[in-house]
Amino acid sequence: MGEAMLVNAAVAAVTLLAAWLVAVRINDVSFIDAIWGGGMAVLAVASWLQLGEPDTRAHLIAGMAALWGLRLFWHLYTRWRGHGEDVRYARMLGKAKEQGRFAQAALTKVFGPQAFLLYLTCLPAQLGVLASGAPAPLGPLALAGAALWLLGMVFEVVGDAQLTAFRKDPASKGKVLDTGLWRYTRHPNYFGDCCVWWGIWLAAADAGLWVALVSLPGPLFLTFTLTKWSGKPLLEKGLAKTRPGYAEYVKRTSGFIPWPPKVD
């Protein structure tokens, strides 16, 4: 297993290095968000390919991670193609561009850290697949994980579809999306992300306690970054400035876990 994890580390490094070269060529790193999902799908499949005879749990975990990752990759890639450079990355690397240090800054501030964090977050999928044992029926943890994964996928897919339709409607300009899943949580897609990876972690934990403990940093980091670091806080800070009525929306709508809105 150690050798397989080293192979995966090399795969992650090469994938992000190739993406960095593309970013330097086009002078934009914004597609890194798409690489995040696609890269984890690649690591899950790379783990699966290194097994001689994958069991049912290995098939399940690799399939869940790959399906989630490929969907997210395509969704974020097409969004980037339609909207262009992300203002977050433009602010982060603006001075470096002006000073002719874009390539170096893109590697040290974006692609280098993302390679490590992608590898870390994907630990449940990698270890869950590589800990494949003798063929056996899926245990209760794996089944519970699959159910939680499915719930997360529903929130992600439906939430993203509702947001895309809202943005395409000219009448929505300057307004706040507060219908559908967005009525119950300000971030159904982030909630879905967490459910997906806690579900994969549960399925991986079906392989044994050591897998659960060693892979735990993955979903913990994902939950932290979405709720406390680069996800929800940064997004809401920008929306508060650009969307009239967003403060009122925040007051009545759950910040993460879906819940009926508050009524004055």
User: What is the chain's mean pLDDT, rounded?
Assistant: 92
Question: What is the number of other CB atoms lying within 10 angstroms of the CB of residue 198?
Answer: 20
Helix axes 188-205, 123-130, angle to 10 degrees: 30
* pLDDT surpassing 90 at residue 245: no
pTM of the model: 0.92
Q: What is the mean pLDDT of residues 157-179?
A: 91
| Residue 47, pLDDT above cutoff 90 | yes
Residue 252 has pLDDT above 70, yes or no: yes
CA separation for the pair 35, 41 (Å, rounded): 10
Residues 177-181: what's their mean pLDDT?
Answer: 93
**pLDDT for the residue numbered 134:** 62
**What's the Cα-to-Cα distance from 46 to each of 52, 72, 156, 232, 239, rounded to whole Å?**
12, 18, 24, 31, 38
Q: What is the percentage of the chain residues whose pLDDT exceeds 70? A: 98
Residue type, 8: N
Max CA pair span of the chain: 60
pLDDT score for 231:
73
pLDDT at 259 over 80: yes
Between 61 and 87, the higher pLDDT residue: 61
* Token pair 């390919």: residue: 49
pLDDT of residue 258: 96
pLDDT of 241 > 80? The answer is no
What letters, b where the CB count within 10 A reaches 16 and e where it falls short, cover 35-62?
bbbbbbbbbbbbbbebbeebbebbebbb
Instruction: For residues 33-43, give the mean pLDDT.
Output: 95
Q: pLDDT grade, residue 12 (50/70/90)?
A: very high
- Mean pLDDT, range 83-89, rounded to an integer: 84
Q: Has residue 153 got a pLDDT over 80?
A: yes
Average pLDDT, stretch 241-258?
86
Confidence of residue 133 (pLDDT cuts 50, 70, 90): low
